Structure 1
């Protein structure tokens, strides 16, 4: 069976919740999964003033060389003005050696994100992650329309064909809904199943 990494950055816990759901989906596929977070780059006083969530059970990932031991990587990041967070970008900016050696070529990748509003850059943020993956030679899996719950209009829901999403509200008061978490699980299972086939 394949081994999948769920790699995330979360300021307020929304992406952390989504990461847990993604990992549940990976496990449902029969694949192994590790959850890691990228290092915080904001000064401690900024994190405290902004009320960032700092208590988490997930360890910080080590050097980018560790990425090569996985068959798939699912990246979660909140939006920062329509692109991935600086914390996530900073980590990948140190992965030039991994890129130069082609160590992620053919591995499976996927993305998930959160924004304050429905139109707050979900798809462009997902594409910033997908672009990163394609430059590293990865095979990208999206949140296909087999997950029909993302198409409902009866309530505000996350989800896009490019990856799993949630909406947090400007004050962070909205937590991932059952539909949002279901999309994350679906995405994780799709990545796990795809990686299982490619590594068989």
Structure 2
């Protein structure tokens, strides 16, 4: 079975929660899954003053580890319609991997959160997907096989480009059951795709 990395950055825990759901979905497809986060680049005093969630269980990744996986699923919140500097800084270190084609043919995907329904979820997903395509990866989104993204019965995230959640302007809203199910669905689909490509 495939080896999957769920790589994320989370300021307040929303993406951390989504990352765990993505990992659950990938494991349900038989994949071996690691969850890792990128380093926090904000000064410690700034992060504490902004009440960042600094006690996250996932170990911090280093860029060379990306080459060890068959699939990489990247989760990040939105900053002004794109990925935040913490994730961008981490991916910017992948020049060596790109030069030697270390990620060519691997499977990739993205998931995100925004404060509001119209806060740039799809633009943020595209900002991640652009990186994955430059790395030579095969991108898997959240197709309409996950019907939950079509619901009109509740406010919900979800996009054909990747799983999403809406956090609220003060971060007061946690991922809903529907959003978490979308994350599991995407994780499972990415793992199933990697299993087919990397069957041993």
**TM-score class, shorter:** over 0.9
Give the match's secondary structure for 1:95: helix
Aligned residue pairs total 199
Q: Measure, in 1, the Cα distance between the counterparts of 2:115 and 2:127.
A: 17
Could you list the per-position Cα deviations for residues 77-120 of structure 1 after superposition, in whole angstroms to 9, with x for gaps in the alignment? 00010001100000011110000000000000000000000000
Deviation at residue 65 of structure 1 after TM alignment = 1.4
Partner residue, 2:55: 55
- Residue 23 (structure 2) aligns with: 23
- Say yes or no: does 1:36 pair with 2:71: no
Partner of 1:170: 169
Aligned to 1:152: 151
Tell me, in whole angstroms, the C-alpha distance in 2 between the residues paired with 1:86 and 1:190: 28
Unaligned 5+ segments in structure 2 are: none
Q: 1:5 Cα shift?
A: 0.2
Q: Secondary structure at the match of 2:7?
A: strand
* Distance in 2 of aligned mates of 1:100 and 1:85: 24
Alignment RMSD (CA, Å): 0.5
1:154 shift after superposition: 1.1
TM-score w.r.t. length of structure 2: 0.99
Unaligned runs of 5+ in 1: none
Distance in 2 (CA, whole Å) between partners of 1:162 and 1:56 is 26
Paired residue for 1:82?
81
1:12 alignment partner in structure 2:
12
Per-residue CA deviations over 1:11-64 (Å, capped at 9, x if unaligned) read: 0000000000000000000010000000000001110111000111100002x1
Q: Could you say which residue in structure 2 is the equivalent of 1:102?
A: 101
Correspondences of 1:112-191 after superposition (within 5 Å): 112-191=111-190
